[in-house]
Amino acid sequence: MGPRLGSRDGDHPLDPPAPREGPRPGRLGRGRPRDRAPGSGRSPRFGPGLPPRRGPPLAPRSVQTPRVSSGARRTSSAISGLSMGDIPATETRRPARTAMPPAESVDAAEPPPVGPARGGLERSARPSRSTGTTRRIWTLAWPAIATNLLHSLVGLVDVKIVGSLGADAVSAVSTGHRIFFILQGVLVAVTAGTTALVARAWGAEDRGEAERVTRSSLWLCLGFAGLLTAPGVLFARNLAGMFQGLEPATMDLAADFIRTLAWFNLAFAFNIVLGTALRAAGDTKTPLLIAIATNVVNVGLLYGLVYGEWGLPALGVLGAALANGLAFSFGALLTVGLWLGRRLVIQWGPRGGDLSAQRLRQILNIGYPSGLEQFVFQGGLIVFLMIVARFGESPYAAYSIGVNILSFSFLVGFGFSIAASTLVGQNLGAGDPAGAERSGWRAMWLSIGVMVVFGAVIIGAAEPLARFLIDDDEVVRLTVVFIWLLGSVQALMGIEFALGGALRGAGDTRFPLLTVFAGFFLGRIPVALLFVWLGWSVEWIFAALLIDYVIKATGLVTRFRGGRWKSIIAPVEPG
């Protein structure tokens, strides 16, 4: 029996035989496209929900093509010769103005017929049913959500283990993590460009460009990570001293944590770049598997190095930092081994072009606003936490514990942010801006719904969760207040995650930066300072974050409705 029509290894009878490039390597995650010349007629799978297909393209959805024998099949030229008069107008008309539709009708409208694709061939129209886009979003989102859930669980274990050492240890670890992620803002800047360009190249069916962008991003991140090691090691005490409300002993512990973790910047760079590239290509399962292995190592080392179990030294807070760093290194070795062994969707790829000035400039031009966004976010958060720390260590510890508990809700938003970034970028690369728009709105509604449910559950269990993590009545009381306040804005946070991710996937990284700046420095911080001046309690300081999320959500919805993000960056150029 001959190969099955439409199978991955079988060509349509009318297609010319395609040369093989050798045996396909094994791989983790979803299938990947092969290198091919534009217009070769080979249509591999690109991302979830887009099945592979061989042979002549399908007719537009509004044309009812009769079943005919293989000898009388219509070719693409016959289909492309249809005039607009042959297509019923009611099937293809769409409103001219972009608007924020209700959740149940995001995908109800019929997409317009898709014009000629690369090489002169026409793409078949994609499914317009709501379940199509929703299924593709869930396919991308659930492994990302599971990965973030895993990190959150490990974060809670981290707080639980370190919490047994006292509130000063929790504050030190929280401060150390905060400084570490400020320094990593440069790496986040690069990977924002990686997401937009890899997703767009993948949607354009140009695997070689996606792999060149990945390598270019890796060299940039490794260089920046090396440069960031020195300040983390040499000025750790000064960095920890930015939190003026902390006790000197707590600052010393935080400095040890920062100094130790800085030595593992290179390992962190490998993990973040390759994980970002895989997600942009539509493979969110492989990063999940790597995260499982990495966090198993992390928890084991955390318990052993903090408490001195299994023959390991009892290092306390320093042991927590060392456990995190060694786990980063294990994950980096595992990821690079799979990458060089050709087991990933994104491979090493064709040689040359890694350090192309045009490509590096494009990555940085897209990415630097995201890096600034991280600096603004972390800087604004430091200012806010400095205000909180003026009220003592109990409110400061309560904020840290509350964020760790609510991270179970945040992780849902991160998952939908990744899905929105990937699908918006891939659809724009495939020449389907309407599909990109549908994906963004659908991801937003799903993010809102799931985050609200998660937030309600966490609010209901706020006190038991807080008491599980720390045995301090005042810290528990303040943690419950913080969870109630932040839990009340889960819908607004869902908008921020999904639409912010959609804009970044399109390469529109400047506007999310503006919304973060406005939220912190025109909303949260001025209101908090006003409450301090009025002499109000720390609970009112926590409440100041509500205006922050109102500003950000309003701005992002307005921007996405405007549609300017559809033409922010030019198509990826080959080579």
- Report the distance separating Cα 382 and Cα 376, nearest Å: 10
- What is the secondary structure of 19-36 as a DSSP string? PP-SPPPP-SSS--PPP-
- Between the alpha carbon of residue 449 and those of residues 134, 409, 446, 453, 455, the distances in Å are 13, 11, 5, 6, 10
Query: What per-residue confidence (pLDDT) applies to 515?
Result: 95
- Report the distance separating Cα 401 and Cα 71, nearest Å: 69
Question: SS3 string of 136-188?
Answer: HHHHHHHHHHHHHHHHHHHHHHHHHHHHCCCHHHHHHHHHHHHHHHHHCHHHH
Query: What per-residue confidence (pLDDT) applies to 243?
Result: 64
Query: What per-residue confidence (pLDDT) applies to 74?
Result: 39
- What is the secondary structure of 193-243 as a DSSP string? HHHHHHHHHHHTT-HHHHHHHHHHHHHHHHHHHHHHHHHHHHTHHHHHTT-
Which value, in Å, is the radius of gyration of the alpha carbons in the chain? 25
Residues whose CB falls within 8 Å of the CB of residue 466, separated by 6 or more in sequence, listed in order: 401, 402, 405, 475, 476, 479, 480, 483
- Report the distance separating Cα 384 and Cα 377, nearest Å: 10
Cβ burial, residue 67 (10 Å; 0-12/13-18/19+): exposed
Query: What per-residue confidence (pLDDT) applies to 47?
Result: 42
- Report the distance separating Cα 379 and Cα 519, nearest Å: 13
- Report the distance separating Cα 133 and Cα 130, nearest Å: 6
pTM for the predicted model, two decimal places: 0.68
Q: Are 147 and 293 in contact (CB under 8 A)?
A: no
Residues whose CB falls within 8 Å of the CB of residue 470, separated by 6 or more in sequence, listed in order: 159, 163, 167, 170, 397, 401, 476, 479
Amino acid at the residue 367: G
Q: Sign of torsion, CA 209 211 213 215? A: negative
Query: What per-residue confidence (pLDDT) applies to 131?
Result: 59
Query: What per-residue confidence (pLDDT) applies to 350?
Result: 63
Domain edges within the chain: 131-567
- Report the distance separating Cα 447 and Cα 450, nearest Å: 5
Query: What per-residue confidence (pLDDT) applies to 238?
Result: 82
Q: Are 389 and 245 in contact (CB under 8 A)?
A: yes
Query: What per-residue confidence (pLDDT) applies to 23?
Result: 42
Q: Are 447 and 455 in contact (CB under 8 A)?
A: no
Low-confidence stretches of the chain (pLDDT beneath 50): 1-129, 572, 574-575
Locus of tokens 């044309």: 63
Locus of tokens 């998660």: 454
Residues whose CB falls within 8 Å of the CB of residue 269, separated by 6 or more in sequence, listed in order: 187, 218, 221, 222, 224, 225
